[in-house]
Amino acid sequence: MKKVFLFLAMILLMAGCKKNNQALVPVHVHANDFAVLVDDFPTKGEPVGTYTNVKTMTLAFFKADGTAQYNVSQLRDDATTYETFGEFSCDLPVGDYTMVVIGSACTVPFNLISPTSATLMDEKLWDSFVATQEVHVTGTAAVDLSAALNRIVSRCCVSTTDVRPEEVTKVRMTFPAGGRDFNPSTGLATVNTGFSNSITLPNAVGTTSAFATYLFLATDEQTMGVTLETLDEDDNVVFSTTVSDIPLKRNRQTILTGKLFSADAGAGSFTIETTWLPSIDVPF
């Protein structure tokens, strides 16, 4: 009986060693050759290493069960997190993976939980891009991959035609739909419950203001209202108005122009203009 137990133990040990010694395959991912396309007409672009609107990069490989085999972020302002900003190297076991790459103007990387869930960790949402693709690691030869990132946010801008009074220091924008977290596989918001964003006005008292908020939409296009509240330094509401029926679309900025601070300010004073944002393409 002891010989049988010894024989079984040796088999289990050999099996464990074989599993632990599974060959790892070098994998290199390039996401640092951004070229800027304006209105679908290509112009000379900047590599992501110098395209300062991208502050953080996150790469992850997820196994079929949704767990992460590899997940790492780079911060542009922290050179200890990378050798070349936008390039990654890792070792992966042979297998099938979903690769997700996020590039963002947020200074804090997204919490990339799965191929269908990424959570905003920065205080506010900024310009963001994503690429998701299936990757098959089949042998021991090094794998060289590239990522084509697409902008996935909508941008709502406000441009005032009246000047900022002394008592107003912030503006709060409240959306009834959309969200701040997104699904990397679709580029759409994971919830459609809306959010509020307070913006400290950068312009001086007595001058006009321009500010914006980014958001993820629940569908490629959504029409919704936005509530604009001017606030004092203690976050008390000075004035509030709601602009209805604003068309929003991914990779598009919608500009609201009108009076926000004057006595005759109100929703009826705003005009709406929709324009395409410059898109981002990563050619390899």
β-strand pairing of 95-104 with 24-30: unpaired
pLDDT at 236 over 60: yes
210 vs 39 pLDDT, higher one: 210
The C-alpha atoms of residue 204 and residue 216 are separated, in whole angstroms, by 30
pLDDT at 15 over 80: no
Residues 248, 224 contacting (CB under 8 angstroms): yes
Lookup result for tokens 């632990």: 20
Single out the residue of 175, 209, 205 nearest to residue 191, CA to CA: 175
Class of domain 154-277: mainly beta
Structure confidence by residue, pLDDT tens digits, 145-168: 888 888 899 999 898 989 999 999
Q: Are strands 154-160 and 252-258 parallel, antiparallel or unpaired?
A: parallel
Do 24-151 and 154-277 come out as alike in CATH topology?
A: yes
Give pLDDT, residue 278: 59
**What are the domain boundaries of the chain?**
24-151, 154-277
Identify the pLDDT of residue 253.
87
Contacting residues for 249 by C-beta, under 8 A, at least 6 apart: 154, 217, 220, 221, 222, 274
Q: What is the mean pLDDT of residues 241-246?
A: 89
Domain 24-151 has CATH 2.60.40.2100: yes
Burial of residue 144, with CB atoms counted within 10 A of its CB: 0-12 exposed, 13-18 middle, 19 or more buried? exposed
- pLDDT higher than 60, residue 41: no
* Tens digit of each residue's pLDDT (9 = 90 or more) over 93-150: 999 999 999 999 999 999 999 999 999 999 999 999 999 999 999 887 888 988 888 8
